[in-house]
């Protein structure tokens, strides 16, 4: 990720101390950047359009009842991110047990799946049909595999796709599965199959929180006792106390550029327009909005590409239930087409401190929508009535048990991976490359479906770049799980990146020389042996050895020439210790050496291929349990 020329710069030098960094967005990425800058003694200004920090990771307080915009588990393999969480939260960081289920056809299925529960819920007949559908998908896969529906059907069978994936996925994204890019599915579930899912369902008693336990097998996670917003409120307070600013209700209206860099930003703060200058700029605002704010206006092709980017919006209806316990889960996925909701969060089960009255329960009913559609424009009162009706349809609570409710809308919650977004991002990245003092970070800032920890990591690396680094932020969360499987001794660890070790993959040896080091490592370790080449080599060496040994014995001479070597005539018909025999031995030895060399290469390739296949499947298995979490 970093070139050889990058030098160590852990402390701000004289040319860094005068820098002023302007950060757009006070979500996890933006505030992490400000926090890291303050630790380096650099001043920053954070501009937040909303009246509250945290972005989608905020916590809303309604009459003392707190709820998230979607539940946010705090779990990561990124060590520096975990260190920051613990540094900020201290004793307010709780460890919570996970319980989540899927609601489908009036039945609750444990998620991650438990085989007896799944078989009982689906029925033996349906389970057999799922298995037959899977076998069909393996014999006759759908080609080309370019959309979500084909990708999932090829790995789980069409029947399971129709039952479990189609309804929920289309509810979340609001578009047919045939229009969702297969690249999105590949990023989130890494090529799993039904057989791996069954294997995973059989393994329920693995220990958690131990070295080597794969991420998605965890049955617990950390969580701030007052919700994720507590984390970002604390970070905001820390940044503000370190000679930096976090300005709320600050709507960026103009991004002025000139001379190959960003010069200043025009901001509407509580109705007043002001311009903020800076030497470095970090943006976590949606790319589409970012391009629309540029002045002068970017080329038409770039503007068109930005307009092609789509987002899925999100709203939460919180209901206060006059009952101590409603259900034991942290959250439930709703696969039932009778209701519009996608998930239900039980915030009391995330942290008891989220609810002021322990005799009551606060549920968050989550709806996925597009800004401006029927759900989005529905009045708060009508949304609360809809939520009451749907919670009663599911049999979780009765209308007369619901004391109160509130609604929170979150625009642009999820970047959409459709068939056009990759080309749009490519065009925009090429255009933005001319502005070296502007860096994009975070989920919407990069139109990349990052989790909170990877969004934070992009911000940390952006700060490293301001201090003199040369990190490619777009490589964060690119085949991340694969990189984490590689051995540590495969890499050169750059000094500047030492404190980020075991987070992003360290720089492979070949990368430091400007080549693709990961590919080179894989080629060296697992490349197939050329059967013909090895057979010719072994044959030539064997034949040459017999030929030379025979000729040396002939030259040595004596009354008895080569009595031991003469025994070869029992295997090589016509062989003797003579010039003629030397050539006969050469031919036989070459033939048998060729055969053994070819067989060795064949068997080695076969077993290596099988081993790589098993390693790959094992790595793929590690992401299955969180599949629906990431839809």
Q: Helix, strand or coil for residue 567? A: helix
Within 8 A by CB and 6+ apart from 346, the residues are 326, 327, 329, 330, 331, 332, 361, 362, 363, 364
Predicted local distance difference test score (pLDDT) of residue 524 = 54
pLDDT higher than threshold 80 for residue 514: no
Q: What is the pLDDT of residues 316-349, one digit of tens each?
A: 999 999 999 999 999 999 988 889 999 999 999 9
Question: Is 72:228 a contact under the CB 8 Å cutoff?
Answer: yes
Q: What is the pLDDT of residues 348-361, one digit of tens each?
A: 999 999 999 999 99
Spell out the domains of the chain, with CATH numbers in brackets.
Answer: 14-63+227-308+420-478 (3.50.50.60), 531-616 (no CATH)
Structure tokens at 532: 């013909």
- What is d(CA 447, CA 422) in angstroms, rounded to the nearest whole number? 10
- What is d(CA 617, CA 614) in angstroms, rounded to the nearest whole number? 5
pLDDT higher than threshold 60 for residue 211: no
Q: Helix, strand or coil for residue 501? A: coil
Least confident window among 475-489, 497-511, 512-526, 592-606? 497-511
> Across-strand partners of 68?
59
Question: Is 293:286 a contact under the CB 8 Å cutoff?
Answer: no
Structure tokens at 252: 């960026």
Predicted local distance difference test score (pLDDT) of residue 619 = 52
Q: Which of 4-13, 210-219, 505-514, 560-569 is most confident?
A: 560-569
- What is d(CA 190, CA 365) in angstroms, rounded to the nearest whole number? 29
Backbone phi, psi, residue 320, to 5°? -95, 115
Torsion-angle region of residue 244: left (phi > 0), alpha (psi -120 to 50) or beta? beta
Structure tokens at 146: 């370019």
- What is d(CA 479, CA 188) in angstroms, rounded to the nearest whole number? 10
Question: Is 318:361 a contact under the CB 8 Å cutoff?
Answer: no
Distances in Å between the Cα of 604 and the Cα atoms of 522, 596, 597 are 16, 12, 10
pLDDT higher than threshold 90 for residue 558: no
pLDDT higher than threshold 80 for residue 250: yes
Least confident window among 286-295, 522-531, 620-629? 620-629
Other Cβ atoms within 10 Å of 307 Cβ, number: 12
- Report the 3 state secondary structure along 420-460: CHHHHHHHHHHHHCCCCCEEECCHHHHCCCCCHHHHHHHHH
The predicted model gives 137-150 an average pLDDT of 86
Query: Among 335, 448, 407, which residue's Cα sits nearest to residue 109?
Result: 335
The predicted model gives 17-37 an average pLDDT of 93
Predicted local distance difference test score (pLDDT) of residue 11 = 47
The predicted model gives 432-456 an average pLDDT of 93
pLDDT higher than threshold 70 for residue 365: yes
Structure tokens at 457: 């990591």
- What is d(CA 457, CA 234) in angstroms, rounded to the nearest whole number? 18
The predicted model gives 577-601 an average pLDDT of 85
Q: Report if pTM > 0.85.
A: no
């Amino acid at each position: 990720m970093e070139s050889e020329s990058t030098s160590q710069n852990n402390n701000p030098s004289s040319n860094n101390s005068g820098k002023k960094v302007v950060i757009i967005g006070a979500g996890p990425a933006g505030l992490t950047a400000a926090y890291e800058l303050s630790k380096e003694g650099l001043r920053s200004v954070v501009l937040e359009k909303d009246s509250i920090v945290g972005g989608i990771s905020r916590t809303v307080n309604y009459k003392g009842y707190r709820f998230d915009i979607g539940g946010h588990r705090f779990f990561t393999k990124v060590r520096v991110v975990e260190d920051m969480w613990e540094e900020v939260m201290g004793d307010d960081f709780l460890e919570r047990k996970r319980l989540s289920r899927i609601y489908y056809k009036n039945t609750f299925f444990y998620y991650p799946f438990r085989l007896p529960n799944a078989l009982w819920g689906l029925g033996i007949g349906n389970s057999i049909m799922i298995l037959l559908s899977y076998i069909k998908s393996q014999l006759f896969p759908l080609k080309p595999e370019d959309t979500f529906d084909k990708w999932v059907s090829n790995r789980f069978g069409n029947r399971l796709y129709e039952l479990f994936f189609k309804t929920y996925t289309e509810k979340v994204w609001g578009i047919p599965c045939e229009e969702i890019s297969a690249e999105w599915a590949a990023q989130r579930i890494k090529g799993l199959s039904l057989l791996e899912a069954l294997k995973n369902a059989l393994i329920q008693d693995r220990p958690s929180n131990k070295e080597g336990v794969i991420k998605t097998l965890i049955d617990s996670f950390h969580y701030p006792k007052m919700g994720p917003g507590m984390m970002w409120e604390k970070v905001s307070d820390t940044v503000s106390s370190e000679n930096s600013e976090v300005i709320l209700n600050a709507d960026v209206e103009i991004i002025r550029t000139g001379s190959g860099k960003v010069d200043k930003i025009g901001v509407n703060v509580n109705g007043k327009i002001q311009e903020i200058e800076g030497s470095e700029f970090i943006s976590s605002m949606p790319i589409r909005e970012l391009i629309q704010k540029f002045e002068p206006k970017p080329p038409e092709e770039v503007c068109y590409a930005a307009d092609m980017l789509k987002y899925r919006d999100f709203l939460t209806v919180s209901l206060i239930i006059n009952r101590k316990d409603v259900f034991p889960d942290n959250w439930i996925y709703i696969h039932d087409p009778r209701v519009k909701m996608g998930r239900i969060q039980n915030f009391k089960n995330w942290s008891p401190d989220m609810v002021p009255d322990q005799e009551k329960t606060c549920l968050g009913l989550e709806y996925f929508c597009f800004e401006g559609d029927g759900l989005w424009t529905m009045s708060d009162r009508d949304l609360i009535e809809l939520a009451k009706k749907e919670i009663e349809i599911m049999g979780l609570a009765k209308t007369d048990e619901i004391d109160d409710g509130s609604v929170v809308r979150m625009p642009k919650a999820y970047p959409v991976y459709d068939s056009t977004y990759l080309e749009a991002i490519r065009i925009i990245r090429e255009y933005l490359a001319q502005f070296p003092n502007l860096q994009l970070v975070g989920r919407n800032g990069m139109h990349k479906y990052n989790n909170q920890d990877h969004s934070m990591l992009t911000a940390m690396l952006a700060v490293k770049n301001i201090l003199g680094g040369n990190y490619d932020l777009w490589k964060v969360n690119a085949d991340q799980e694969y990189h984490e499987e590689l051995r540590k001794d495969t890499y050169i660890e750059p000094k500047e990146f030492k404190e980020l070790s075991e987070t992003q993959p360290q720089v492979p040896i070949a990368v430091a020389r400007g080549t693709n080091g990961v590919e080179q490592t894989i080629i060296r370790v697992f490349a197939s042996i050329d059967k013909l080449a090895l057979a010719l080599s072994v044959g030539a060496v064997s034949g040459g050895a017999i030929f030379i040994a025979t000729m040396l014995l002939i030259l040595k001479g004596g009354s008895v020439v080569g009595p031991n070597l003469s025994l070869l005539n029992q295997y090589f018909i016509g062989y003797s210790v003579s010039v003629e025999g030397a050539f006969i031995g050469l031919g036989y030895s070459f033939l048998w050496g060729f055969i053994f060399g070819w067989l060795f290469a064949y068997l080695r390739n076969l077993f290596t291929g099988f081993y790589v296949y098993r390693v790959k499947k094992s790595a793929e298995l590690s992401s299955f349990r969180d599949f629906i979490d990431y839809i």
